[in-house]
Amino acid sequence: MKTRLIGIILGLMSLTLLAWGLPRTLSAFVMAPSAPVLRKLQNLEAVDTEELETLVAAQQRGLFWSARGRTLTDLGLAQLLIAERLDGDLQQKRQQIEDAIASLKSGLALAPANPYAWTRLAYASFQLHGWKPEALSALRLAFATAPYDPRLLMSRLRLSFLAWPHLLREDRELVLQQIRYAWQHDPDELARIAADFDQINLVRAALLRDPAELAEFEQKLQKLNQS
């Protein structure tokens, strides 16, 4: 009797594990076509619209079987990239951005410690509504979840330069810290984006504490003007 009871319990446990694992397995299987596209995006390689549509379709099939934060945020990324290629159809572009925002929000609700997704959400919300509280909040969380991520550094600074007039005092202090970090990481790129976004004086203010760094920044600006 005891042996039979143990067998029943083990059988129920096996069925439970199978029921839990099968949707994830099926999700991974149907999303397999998206893997090469995601690798190209992660390696900053060019991806055409057809590949992005393949990524969207595969992620949506995977979500039918298992809703995971990463799947949703990857879907949001693909939708956002497609939206950027729809300049000729503003209504379709807007709908695509709305879809991306919905995907990113759903993904972040399941996995909130994703600085890349918060950065994309800040950008998408800004594109749709300007620097409203939602976009500013997403930008703050992008910094909070990974304050010193080199791969996000310059893209978040670009957003911060755009958002600067709308930032609170504490937000601005954080941006000044990021500028100093960017100067140590890639001073040439920092000089380029400061000039592109007309935020040269902001970078000067961040570097003011070190006259040598400020002088070097001015030299880099002169080189940019001469090129």
* 69-83 helix and 35-42 helix, angle to the nearest 10 degrees: 70
Span 96-122, pLDDT tens digits: 999 999 999 999 999 999 999 999 999
Domains defined along the chain, listed by start: 28-38+46-130 (1.25.40), 147-227 (no CATH)
Q: What is the pLDDT of residue 50?
A: 78
User: Residue 24 has what pLDDT?
Assistant: 47
pTM (2 decimals)?
0.80
Share of the chain above pLDDT 70, in %: 78
Q: Indicate left, alpha or beta for 130 from its phi (over 0: left) and psi (-120 to 50: alpha).
A: left
**Are 79 and 95 a contacting pair, CB within 8 Å?**
no
pLDDT in tens, 77-103: 889 989 988 877 789 999 999 999 999
Below-70 pLDDT ranges, the chain: 1-38, 40-44, 62-67
